[in-house]
Chains A and B, each alone.
Chain A
């Protein structure tokens, strides 16, 4: 019996190959509906978490409730449109930048192909210009005369449930990395547009659990995991045993909540419990012990990462305020910060305005080298990479670079320290001084143009793993290049979210490449007083050869 279907199909295949492509029909972007399905959205916040946050900051997180993203009923308050528009009105008045960013975009398209989410998905609504348009169209439709009268002809549209769904979909496919802003001729900070959109979403109770629960924990116990002081201390002290095991040296200088210390050290809390952050933490402690820094760690301000910055400026301010409050309570002179990402965006750009000036603190001055960190004169907070680079520059660290010879290293510029605070040289200077094998990724993927890990701003949650892999594709693609060209086996970075998310990214795209903080590499290379013969690194992995010592500066340079 002849199979007519097969015959017909083979004719179709010859006549029209596109039958088999499954190509998506192209319509105007405003007419493309959003479909939520497992893997493309974050789980909504638990009712109990929203209740908790609502107690401290009433009205900013919407009505606490259980709701399902895939459902067509998000159980929004009846007047939710009014709440959004009122919220927008207030923010247009309060934040001049928001108003300017809504008005000045000429849709030149310079940003269109710069977003890692666009490059990894091909979804036009991930072009920064179009993502911003999701919000701008509501601005035009409700707050400009032309938009109110002409509607879609003037690029305006009314606020509907479909628009709200679009916001939740696409403003949670933006990591606020600001790569697009680098290319904008008007300097529009698209990250701040995402911030505003998320503030508005939270007002009607549309938020994700992976952001709000850590934010609630940070508020309650001082760190995003909700670790209580004794657990935090215990975990950190466990790592002293590891350091002793590897180096033969029992460190003496680690203290907690000690009043009168010169420096308060604030880290991303993942550094005391999660692999590979714990090795970075060991690196910090070795550096401080090596130079005899008088520092302490607070178990109350035990989180550098500011999950509030992914929700609204009020919670960001509240969580950030803990640093100055603890610095004041402990009577320290200045604050040193660990290898963290968005903590530095907040510290560098918002801290002084939100919680400053900290009149009890002094302009940071390194007690070891005498260097005054004028760049931190306002916030009074110095990045560990600035501190370490200054130590190396003044020849205060005894270094054996060969102890990192088993690592062929490249450096991922973490978005916030690089684009958010302009720190591009210090980490590289450190790497060149502690590793013999350091190779840069291609020019258009590093420094100001660095590609995001794809999981920042509270997107590093398991339920959107597919999405994270898409968003991280451009970064992984550049790592693959240096892996093939130079045999790179270690991706270094200076951000705790990177240390967590690049790990998953590498496991998928480049399984032979590990992830580390650069302080870990410093810790490996440091020659400690009274140390034993070092044959293992901080991960208890064998060194390439017995460290015989080598003068800094004799390395072959990276590309």
Chain B
């Protein structure tokens, strides 16, 4: 069986293993695996939907750009949770082990081995995208911290955020400009 057929016929089992493995990185994964209501269980739902979408993209040989959205949904969460950067993005690599395990368990694994290199090369690209997205999330978080400081107490002293203070400043500047235009 070639790898494509293997990925397709064992989709359900592989996805289940992958999802379980990612949820196992949390301290109490039982609930995240069990609860099916997506609003009562945002981590479980986001991870299970995101991984399924990623898997379909890999299986159907779609453009890897499409992986950005499902990847982001998962990484956005893991970037603010209690993980080191490597553990936050490790879920992409976890698929490698699972697929290899499935391929090795086949009676005639020669057929699937050939496709493995290509599949893993694509997965590596997804992993690199994951690093970029992780950094984007962290940078966004820091920007939010800065924005919050700027919109807080400092607004009282420098007036940058107060709309009317800004308007008054602008009007004063405009008046000054008019004045100087007239003089010249």
User: Which residues of chain A from 116 to 147 have any CB-CB distance to chain B below 8 Å in the complex?
Assistant: 119-124, 127
Chain B contacts for A231, CB-based, 8 A: 156
The one of A225, A477, A481 in contact with B156, judged by C-beta atoms closer than 8 angstroms, is A225
Tell whether, in the assembled complex, residue A122 and residue B94 are in contact, meaning their CB atoms are under 8 Å apart: no
Tell me the residues in window 201-242 of chain A with beta carbons closer than 8 Å to chain B beta carbons. 225, 227, 231, 235, 238-239, 241-242
Q: Are B39 and A13 in contact (CB under 8 A)?
A: no
- CB within 8 Å of B: which of A495-510? 500, 503-504, 507-509
CA of A17 to CA of B95, assembled, Å: 9
CB <8 Å contact, B87 and A22: yes
Q: How many residues of A contact B (CB 8 A)?
A: 57
Contact assessment for B162 and A235 in the assembled complex, using a CB-CB cutoff below 8 Å: yes
Query: Does A253 make an interface contact (CB < 8 A)?
Result: no
Tell me if A278 is interfacial: C-beta within 8 Å of chain B: yes
**Contact between B81 and A121, CB atoms less than 8 A apart:** yes
**Contacts A23-B25, A227-B156: A481 and B80 contacting too (C-beta < 8 A)?**
no
Q: How far is the CA of A18 from the CA of B97 in the complex (A)?
A: 9
Indicate if the CB atoms of B82 and A40 lie closer than 8 Å: yes
B46 partner residues in chain A, CB cutoff 8 A: 477
Residues on A with C-beta less than 8 A from B28 are 122-124, 127
A444 at the interface (CB under 8 A from B): yes
CB distance from B38 to the nearest CB of A (A): 8
Main secondary structure of the interface of A (DSSP, over half): helix
Binds B, one of A86-94, A150-158, A427-435, A465-473: A465-473
As a 0/1 sequence over residues 435 to 473 of chain A, the CB contacts with chain B under 8 angstroms (1 = contact) are 000000010110000000000000000100110011001
Q: Which of A242, A473, A508 contacts B42 (CB 8 A)?
A: A473
Please determine whether B39 and A445 come into contact, CB atoms closer than 8 angstroms.
yes
User: Does A106 sit at the interface, judged by CB under 8 A?
Assistant: no
A55 at the binding interface (Cβ < 8 Å): no
Q: Is the CB of B25 within 8 A of A21?
A: yes
Given contacts A477-B46, A507-B147, contact A24 B21 (CB under 8 A): no
CB distance from A101 to the nearest CB of B (A): 23
Separation in Å of the A464 CB from the closest CB of chain B? 10
User: Are A469 and B141 closer than 8 Å at their CB atoms?
Assistant: yes
Instruction: List residues of chain B with CB within 8 A of the CB of A124.
Output: 27-28
Is residue A426 contacting chain B, with contact meaning CB distance below 8 A?
no
Task: Tell me the smallest distance from the CB of A505 to a CB of chain B, in Å.
Answer: 9
Contacts of B163 in A (CB 8 A): 242, 278, 539-540
Is A14 part of the contact surface with B, judged by Cβ < 8 Å?
Answer: yes
